[in-house]
């Protein structure tokens, strides 16, 4: 395993990610405003020292909504990635270590999952499960199962060919034993770095569901919802759309950078 290369951009990405996590856990450190009740504050105030990101269409502080939204959006992204990671990895490991009919069957299912447009699939699942942040996250997660399954399969295939796995079988290891002891630990690091990379796209996909009206119910300040509710006023109050959009971009870029740095280190 190589060393993680700490370039300035990687450090910056780390700082952004750290801030996002801090905001998710301790939002009150960043703002004293209430994200879901604007009180008597006027609607659509432009950014000022009092309201850094201005106020939204019903007078709530946009910065507070972004800060408090971090926990919802990041949690949703983690759930989405978790679904894909767990289900996909199990499918992939089983397929990769059981060549023949089972492998073929599982990989055809994965092909099918890939071939159905992801958006259509997640919309359908949201309608099926009902509207809500976690349900949207699960729907997005399902669309990434195929991706994890392929990676896990290729990893387990190459590891399975290695001498030490053959040796482990030779010394009387059972299938599950070998899978758990030898294959899983070696396959895990590329899969995990893919998971980090996927966090960013999960955030984007969940916000797309929000845009199409299949996301989080109000007043939850989920990032996609903040943008999607404010987009009607993009010409009169650009700050509701543009500033949270910039925050999303920054966080997604940061997770990408961290993910690719990790992948280079584990490659």
Residues 142-181, one symbol each (x = binds another protein by CB under 8 A, - = not), give -xx--x--xx-xx--x------------------------
CB of 185 to another protein, least distance (A): 19
Determine the longest span between alpha carbons in the chain, in angstroms.
74
Give the one residue of 77, 201, 261, 262 binding another protein; rule: CB under 8 A: 201
Question: How many residues make contact with another protein (CB under 8 A)?
Answer: 80
Q: Encoding tokens for residue 89?
A: 């990895």
Cβ nearer to another protein, comparing 41 with 171: 41
Binding status of residue 97 toward another protein by CB under 8 A = no
Q: How far is the CB of 193 from another protein (least distance, A)?
A: 8
Among 17, 77, 106, 252, binds another protein (CB under 8 A): 252
Task: By CB under 8 A, name the one of 215, 239, 243, 262 that touches another protein.
Answer: 215
Residue among 11 and 249 whose Cβ is closer to another protein: 249
Shortest Å, Cβ 79 to another protein: 17
Q: Which is nearer to another protein, 23 or 118 (CB)?
A: 118
- Neighbour-count burial for 158-186, b at 16+ CB within 10 Å, e otherwise: ebbeeeebeebeeeebeeeebbeebbbeb
If one asks whether residue 21 binds another protein (CB under 8 A), the answer comes out as no
CB of 251 to another protein, least distance (A): 8
CB 3 within 8 A of CB 261: no
| Residue 205 touching another protein (CB under 8 A) | yes
- Dig out the tokens for 64 from the structure: 């507070």
Which residues in the 30-59 window bind another protein by CB under 8 A? Answer: 36-38, 40, 42-44, 57-59
Site for another protein, residues 219 to 238, rule: CB under 8 A: 219, 224, 227-229, 231-237
CB nearer to another protein: pick between 13 and 24: 13
């Amino acid at each position: 395993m190589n060393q993680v290369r700490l370039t300035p951009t990687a450090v910056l990405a780390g700082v952004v990610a750290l801030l996002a996590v801090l905001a998710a856990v301790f939002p009150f450190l960043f703002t004293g405003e209430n994200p879901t009740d604007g009180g008597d504050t006027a609607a659509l105030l432009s950014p000022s020292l009092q309201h850094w990101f201005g106020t939204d269409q019903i007078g709530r502080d946009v910065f507070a909504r972004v800060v408090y939204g971090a926990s919802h959006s990041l949690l949703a992204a983690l759930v989405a990635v978790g679904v894909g990671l767990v289900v996909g990895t199990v499918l992939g490991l089983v397929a990769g270590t059981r060549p023949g009919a089972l492998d073929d069957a599982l990989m055809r299912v994965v092909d099918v999952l890939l071939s159905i447009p992801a958006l259509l699939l997640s919309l359908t699942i949201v309608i099926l499960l009902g509207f809500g942040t976690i349900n949207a996250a699960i729907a997005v997660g399902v669309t990434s199962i195929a991706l994890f399954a392929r990676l896990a399969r290729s990893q387990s295939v190459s590891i399975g060919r290695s001498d030490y796995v053959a040796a482990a079988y030779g010394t009387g290891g059972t299938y599950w034993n070998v899978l758990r002891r030898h294959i899983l630990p070696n396959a895990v690091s590329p899969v995990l770095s893919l998971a980090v990379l996927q966090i960013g796209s999960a955030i984007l996909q969940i916000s797309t569901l929000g845009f199409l009206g299949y996301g989080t119910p109000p007043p939850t300040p989920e990032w996609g919802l903040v943008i999607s509710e404010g987009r009607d006023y993009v010409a009169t109050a650009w700050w509701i759309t543009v500033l949270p959009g910039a925050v999303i971009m920054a966080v997604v870029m940061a997770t990408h950078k961290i993910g690719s740095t990790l992948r280079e280190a584990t490659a």
